[in-house]
Structure 1
């Protein structure tokens, strides 16, 4: 099991990252909540990881703190929730909001996450309630400081943001519509993704 990775961030193409460690480049899938906190490309980064081995693939998932990884591991134990959907959940909702929704039985908030229907939301509440009973949402601080994204054109930001949203489970039309609805000033594709997700969760 690979539990942690430290190296140089070579590429940041949400939700995938490329991290160089001793000359080897590791592809890592990360939720947007982790990617928001990443430093600039070329800087050092440390992630807590979970390694998934399947018959057709070996995938490394990375998280900014142990608590987020613990929630990911708890989610993939829920019936019908695999790593891809768990990553979408962590990308579409903050950890404390998810925990509060489970505690309160708030399925309406959960169904706003891509890939989560009413039945899945209800199953998450039932199966996660006991596991999150004593969950401390602020017990572990992120290991990385946020940084300004590298300069890029607006068109490139939009293209990257749409690609990330589609990878998280949204339809192309939904991604394009959510990004087009953003009226606030942005400074990179990560801002677009964050605001698009925030806007769709409010719908």
Structure 2
């Protein structure tokens, strides 16, 4: 499997890229979130990749950041979602925004993403709600955070409250209600717990 490419960016015609790696040209599809960060053609680029092999095709998808690739892979696990829609999701919203929508169960907002209808949005919420953290990446089985996935204070508080057993919708409501500018994760958690207990 191909997990990473480093080479010269030859062409970029969204969503398609051509990367020359030691004289071999790799065709890669990438979301706009990655394409916006690419250097000029002729420059070196390093992309994390997802190598998809099907009976009738082989494809490579490229991402600038691990949390983008993780969300792409999570989306592919949702019934009815293929690579094209997964790329559209990453092109339409940030991984942080997407995760907040999923945790909040905001089906209406999800349907505003190209290619996402109401039924697909509902499946995304049901199938991903317990598998994403505030950056869209898969939650490890032990509940600990994966390395290399920095969160803001609200994101850290969200993960901590989920680990305490609160439901995702309740966590999203509590964090939105209590978080204020300048709060660190500990302050948000304290206020959210007080709110949950009615204090």
* TM-score class, shorter: 0.5 to 0.7
Q: Which protein is bigger by CA-based radius of gyration? A: 2
* Higher RCO by CA contacts (8 Å cutoff, separation 6 or greater): 1
Q: Where in structure 2 are there 5+ consecutive unaligned residues?
A: 137-147, 152-199
**Contact 1:67 1:140 survives alignment (8 Å):** no
TM-score, length of structure 1 as denominator length: 0.66
The match for 1:131 is 131
Aligned pairs for 1:122-161 within 5 A:
122-132=122-132, 134-136=133-135, 139=149
The match for 1:170 is none
Shift of 1:55: 2.0
Shift of 1:135: 4.0
Shift of 1:48: 0.3
The match for 2:178 is none
Aligned pairs for 1:106-117 within 5 A:
106-117=106-117
The match for 2:45 is 45
Superposition misfits of 4+ residues, deviation over 3 angstroms: 134-138
Partner of 2:124, secondary structure, is helix
The match for 1:56 is 56
TM-score, length of structure 2 as denominator length: 0.67
Partner of 1:26, secondary structure, is strand
The match for 2:86 is 86
Report the Cα distance in structure 1 between the residues aligned to 2:36 and 2:64, rounded to whole angstroms: 10
Cα deviation, 1:75-102, whole Å, max 9, x if unaligned, reads: 1001111111111111111111100000
Shift of 1:117: 0.4
Q: Where in structure 1 are there 5+ consecutive unaligned residues?
A: 142-203
